[in-house]
A and B are shown apart, each in its own frame.
Chain A
């Protein structure tokens, strides 16, 4: 089956073998998540440019393209406006999102094929082999050293017409935030911004958290105060803190003012800690309870606020003065009867490992590895509960570019 590069500029003949022009471009109307059928061929001869619907084409191959009828009896159409996507003009050599691998690639070629009697785009060619074909040098690869590298057309997402939500395929919408972040890092700033703005606030916040810090800063700066403020509100405290540390000092105040007072205070407190100390790594998104609350009470609390939390592995039992007394695991909450009080089931400080806000990254890693912890509580110098460090915060610090 032909590649676009092989059919472009070849002669188009009618049923009596009269040459009517050369193939200039191919028009489709792309629908997300589908193999799109060829709709029109754009043909050019010395006098004019015109379109012929694909239904009037008899043969479509690398050797020849021919009409079913005589040219004089064919109803040609004028070149349509921008409603269609032109494969050579808009797709070939441009960037396209490879949704399956969550990356942005450049289209070296396009492959056609017949599906249920219709000529459709099946795949895009990427990689060295398709480049050689474009250069007319594919015969050089005598021993087939280079693999043909194809990506299914329906697993791609055109960038050209913008990345608004209604043009996105289902696969694209359900990508993991980290994958979406990868894609945004590869797109131009404007395209990335557009994609960000079309996401709902919660997803946008999750994607921002996954972005490269430099780009994070640039995007938040460029999104405008309105969008930036709603996204900031949805981000978790420790990620906001990381972002604020990236921003120039004189702008931090502006972004902090977007947040509600309580969160603002928390962020301001966290900013003071060193980046790579337990205080800098921790989040203040944790559930604290007092000893008198019952299992039922605690479950009620969790039900109410669980949607705002990234994860909940423990609840933290604190005294009236805010000092950490001990922890109760999710597992315990599930198996204990509803009327049992926290003070009777918590694991006391003496049998758990906790961190101090000033502990260095190395200490954090050591403690969490040694005791196989997913999360660790962080306390201040007076023993007051300050926050929790989770294993993914540590991983991010160790491998920032992943």
Chain B
């Protein structure tokens, strides 16, 4: 009897631990698929069907490894990524990294604001009304309010996008075909394909996500003993983020690509959920989309300013006031105002802005990854645990592979955009 109860208890404990891990991982994974992500994947699926699924497989590997590296750096140094760059590479490189981060984050934030506007245009409310109001609300909550309370509500509502899992299954896709597409690389010399590919990469793995995960670990004060669990959590969260992305692509492929509809607005993205949500699809999707975009619109100004001020040694934090932390609140205000004004420019295509923001992230990401790789490379000085030869080789391979892949695709995309005839000559070559 005795023995039975103990094994039972252990079994429960294990289950509990798995769920304990799954919880935050699911949340992190879903939050990663923000409004920009949903737009990009919907576009990718409706335009190219399964052709980009293989990119998600690569994304999963890269994301799991880069997040793990961030967690490792945070756990063993107790410092954020920006602080480590400052201490290892000095002021100039720090400035460079921060400017890259600022550009990338402002782009994502513009994307989130565009998402807010796009979501509310589903309900026929003009962006000239919604954007000024929401900009003001975001500023007031960040300046005076308690963002942590708001955050939980938003995260919960964002979980709505788990609906894509159901809808993908209900669409009864050819799973063998899905599996095949997930492991078969596909390259076509079409600028739009490159654009979508880089967007899909840049939305899953982001500069801000890399800074964010490390600060998160540092603030939580993760014990070195629990590092293994954190590692597992990173893998699960990464998998989940890419899994949902795949489900969005599958859903849009089955419902839209096959009927020849290309997603070019939040409204058309909502169409993919009609089979499961029926006539309410548009409205339900609109609300979910709004909150997903708002979550990002709250987090991005905050995390951007926090990182910059931390690295440069300015007063920062939610418990400071304008008088003591002018630069901290100044940057927050700048990001909000810039994003708001950009979206308000008459004729700005909202949906395209969202995807372009992800593409820009993909272009800038390799620069941040280089810093990450160099820091992990000097593990001895930073007091990181020693790795076995083989695992260290794998890490280096995965990291630098991502840097090289992203750089090549970015350069090609820029080249194709600037010199369209280049694409033609490449096509003739193959």
Give every chain B residue within 8 A of A94 (Cβ-Cβ): 87
* B91–A189 touching, CB < 8 Å: no
Would A105 and B313 count as touching, CB distance under 8 A?
yes
Q: With A93-B91, A126-B313 as given contacts, are A106 and B86 in contact (CB-CB < 8 Å)?
A: yes
A127 to B313 CA separation, bound complex (whole angstroms): 7
Flag whether A156 is at the interface (Cβ < 8 A).
no
Count of A-B residue pairs with CB < 8 Å: 38
Contact assessment for A106 and B90 in the assembled complex, using a CB-CB cutoff below 8 Å: no
8 Å CB contact of B221 from A92, A105, A134, A189? A189
The B-contacting residues of A in range 143-173, CB under 8 angstroms, are none
- A94 to B319 CA separation, bound complex (whole angstroms): 24
Chain B contact residue count (CB 8 A cutoff):
16
Distance of A268 from chain B, by nearest CB (Å): 26
Q: From known contacts A105-B313, A106-B312, A106-B313, infer whether A190 and B87 are also in contact, taking CB-CB under 8 Å.
A: no
The CA-CA distance from A391 to B218 in the complex, in Å, is 34
Which residues 51-99 in B have Cβ within 8 Å of A in the complex? 77-79, 86-87, 90-92, 95
B190 at the binding interface (Cβ < 8 Å): no
A135 touches B313 (CB 8 A): no
* Interface presence of A77 (CB below 8 A): no
Known contacts A135-B91, A222-B221: does B313 contact A189 (CB below 8 Å)? Answer: no
| Shortest distance between the CB of B196 and any CB in chain A (Å) | 38
**A384 vs B367: C-alpha distance when bound (angstroms):** 68
A391 CB to nearest chain B CB (Å) = 22
- A401 near B87 with CB under 8 A, answer no
List residues 310-345 of chain A with CB under 8 A from any CB of chain B. Answer: none
Shortest Cβ gap from A148 to chain B (Å):
15
Cβ of B424 under 8 Å from chain A: no
Closest to B225 in A: A222
User: Is A218 part of the binding interface, using a Cβ–Cβ cutoff of 8 Å?
Assistant: yes
Q: Are A221 and B79 in contact (CB under 8 A)?
A: no
Assembled-state Cα–Cα distance A135/B91 (Å): 7
Is there a chain A Cβ closer than 8 Å to B223's Cβ?
yes
Q: Are B319 and A93 in contact (CB under 8 A)?
A: no
A191 at the interface (CB under 8 A from B): yes
Contact check, A188 vs B92: say whether CB atoms are below 8 A apart. Answer: no
Q: Which residue of B lies closest to A88 (CB)?
A: B90
Interface centre among B87, B91, B218 (most CB of A within 10 A): B91
Closest to A136 in B: B92
Contact residues, A110-148 vs B (CB, 8 A):
126-127, 131, 134-135
* Complex Cα spacing A309 to B218, Å: 36
Residue-by-residue, is B210-244 near A (CB-CB < 8 Å gives 1, otherwise 0)?
00000000101101000000000000000000000
Of the candidates A131, A189, A190, A218, the one whose C-beta lies within 8 Å of that of B312 is: A131
Give which listed residue, B77, B221, B319, contacts A401 with CB less than 8 A. B319
Shortest C-beta distance, B418 to chain A (Å), equals 31
Could you tell me if A215 and B313 are in contact, using CB atoms closer than 8 angstroms? no
Q: Check if B79 sits within 8 Å of A222, measured CB to CB.
A: no
* Bound Cα distance A221, B86 (Å): 30
> Does A188 lie within 8 Å of B313, measured CB to CB?
no
Known: A135-B92, A135-B95. A218 touches B86 (CB 8 A): no
- Indicate the member of B78, B86, B92, B221 with the most A CB atoms within 10 Å: B221
With an 8 A cutoff between CB atoms, is A108 at the interface? Answer: yes
Tell me which residues from 217 to 257 in chain A have a Cβ below 8 Å from any Cβ of chain B: 218, 221-222
CB of A222 within 8 A of CB of B91, answer no
In the bound complex, residues from chain B placing their C-beta under 8 Å from that of A218 are 220-221
A218 vs B79: C-alpha distance when bound (angstroms): 16
- Inter-subunit contact B87/A191 (CB<8 Å): no
Q: Is there an interface contact between B77 and A188, defined as CB atoms closer than 8 Å?
A: yes
> CA of A134 to CA of B95 in the docked complex: distance in angstroms?
11
With A106-B86, A131-B91: A191-B78 Cβ-Cβ less than 8 Å: yes
Q: Nearest residue in B to A109 (C-beta to C-beta)?
A: B91
| Set A93, A105, A127, A188: member contacting B86, Cβ < 8 A | A93
B residues near A92, Cβ cutoff 8 Å: 90
Asked whether A222 and B78 contact (CB < 8 A) given A105-B313, A135-B91, A401-B319, the answer is no
Determine how close the nearest CB of chain A comes to the CB of B90; give it in whole angstroms: 6
Which A residues are CB-close (under 8 A) to B221? Answer: 189, 215, 218, 222
Interface-centre pick from A92, A105, A188, A215 (highest chain B CB count, 10 A):
A188
From 23 to 61 in chain A, residues with beta carbon under 8 angstroms from any chain B beta carbon are none
Shortest Cβ gap from A63 to chain B (Å): 23
- B91 pairs with A134, CB closer than 8 A: yes
Contacts of A190 in B (CB 8 A): 78
Chain A residue numbers with a CB within 8 Å of B77 are 188
Alpha-carbon separation in the docked complex, A106 to B79 (Å)? 13
Residues of A with C-beta under 8 A to B79: 188
- For A134, list chain B residues within 8 Å (CB): 90-92
Contact at A221–B223, with CB atoms within 8 Å? yes
Interface residues of B in 87-130 (CB under 8 A from A): 87, 90-92, 95
Closest A residue by C-beta to B318: A401
Show 16 A/B contacts (Cβ-Cβ < 8 Å), sorted by A: A93-B87, A105-B313, A106-B312, A126-B313, A134-B90, A135-B91, A135-B92, A135-B95, A188-B78, A189-B221, A190-B78, A215-B221, A218-B220, A218-B221, A222-B221, A222-B223
With contacts A106-B313, A188-B218 known, what are 16 further pairs, Cβ within 8 A? A94-B87, A105-B313, A106-B86, A108-B91, A126-B313, A127-B313, A134-B90, A135-B91, A135-B95, A188-B78, A189-B218, A218-B221, A221-B223, A222-B221, A222-B223, A401-B319
Residue numbers of A with Cβ under 8 A of B are 92-94, 105-106, 108, 126-127, 131, 134-135, 188-191, 215, 218, 221-222, 401
Closest 4 CB pairs of A and B: A188-B78, A106-B313, A218-B221, A401-B319
